Amino acid sequence: MTPLHDPEWRGFASDNYAGAHPEVLAAIADANGGHQISYGEDAYTARLQEVVRAEFGERAEAFPVFNGTGANVLALTSALPRWGAVVATDTAHIHTDEGGAPERMTGLKLLVVPTPDGKLTPELIAREAWGWGDEHRAQPLVVSITQSTELGTLYTPDEIRAIAEWAHERGMAVHLDGARIWNAAAALAVPLRAFTADAGVDILSLGGTKNGLLGAEAIVVLNPERVDGLIYLRKLGMQLASKMRFLSAQLLTLIEGDLGIRSAAHANAMAARLRAALEDAPGVSFGYPTQANAVFALIPPDAVAPLQEQVRFYTWGATPGLVRWMCAWDTTEADVDRFVALIRGRLGA
């Protein structure tokens, strides 16, 4: 097939725009050929379970799925009765960017809390975590956090541990949306389990697509006592892959070797390079810390559209001139430098 796009074009809109990593494509090819039992009874999914237990602990179990929304919806469904509610931030992906899927598909209630930096604390959770036993109120039974957050900020392992201890004392489970979990691990320089299983997280949405995979994510159960029914819910939720070997083979490339950390660390470094190059640019300020692979900047509103005509990126929220620049595993130093030159040229800086 003749390519229908310019393979040298890269923007700063989303790490979802990036293609699949060559090592991932090679893993898919390696898993191809011959027959393997479908629906997860294959050698690659069996190996994935071994690797997940080594990474997260002996009780961990992985359920590969197709996308992050599916992972989040099914993870939350497995942790809640029909009358349950989830406490999350008002910027959480499950609240702002999943089309109402968690509530519409599951029937759960989202109880959202405004935060200054995209992060929950026990004190913020307490604003919505109340009313247990009140038949007039959806019961707050899960706390959902995101690592790294939708605003590009990070939780430390101790911050997540404090949330988990607070939640568990009140009978609540803890879910972690890890769409960009590798960027967090690379930035914190700790193993994945340091801020998941070891910090008290009960169930994890393990991201892959934003870090070079091709339609492969996973739900990882860390505490089996807090969830139920995923073996049935995955099929019910249309997330059960018949040729699961190809999802599992991709996930193995991230976890078993160093590709996950290596790719994420590169994306983080490109974001740091982008921010550093504009720190002294007149007319540019920054909305949030750049702790992973996202840069949130404030630029003159009249500069946004002309820049977007040259390089794709997104505006963010209702604040005029607030934009998000996202770096990916394949962002190059030359990409960053060209973009910086365009921004400075537009701003006369």
Asked if the model's pLDDT at residue 1 lies above 90, the reply is: no
pLDDT of residue 219: 98
Query: 150, 107, 138, 141: which is closest to 237 by C-alpha?
Result: 107
241 by DSSP, 3-state: which?
coil
Q: Give per-residue pLDDT as tens, 104-113.
A: 998 999 999 9
CA–chain centroid gap for 235, Å, is 22
Cis peptide before 148 (omega within 30 of 0): yes
Work out the pLDDT band at 348, boundaries 50, 70, 90.
Answer: confident
Round the CA-based radius of gyration of the chain to a whole number and report it: 20
Query: 172, 170, 230: which is closest to 205 by C-alpha?
Result: 230
Complete domains list, the chain, with CATH: 22-255 (3.40.640.10), 259-347 (3.90.1150.10)
- Range 30-47 average pLDDT: 98
How far is the CA of 80 from the CAs of 93, 107, 121, 140, in angstroms?
A: 19, 10, 21, 9
Q: Which two tokens stand for residue 149?
A: 């957050």
What does DSSP assign to residue 132?
A: T
Q: Give per-residue pLDDT as tens, 215-246.
A: 999 999 999 999 999 999 999 999 999 999 99
φ, ψ of residue 314 in degrees (nearest 5): -110, 145
Can you list the alpha helix ranges (DSSP code H) found in 154-295? 157-169, 181-188, 230-236, 244-255, 259-278
Q: Give per-residue pLDDT as tens, 246-283.
A: 999 999 999 998 999 999 999 999 999 999 999 999 99
* Cβ contact 244:40 at 8 Å: yes
Asked if the model's pLDDT at residue 80 lies above 80, the reply is: yes
What does DSSP assign to residue 36?
A: -
* Cβ contact 329:24 at 8 Å: no
Q: Which two tokens stand for residue 131?
A: 């009313």
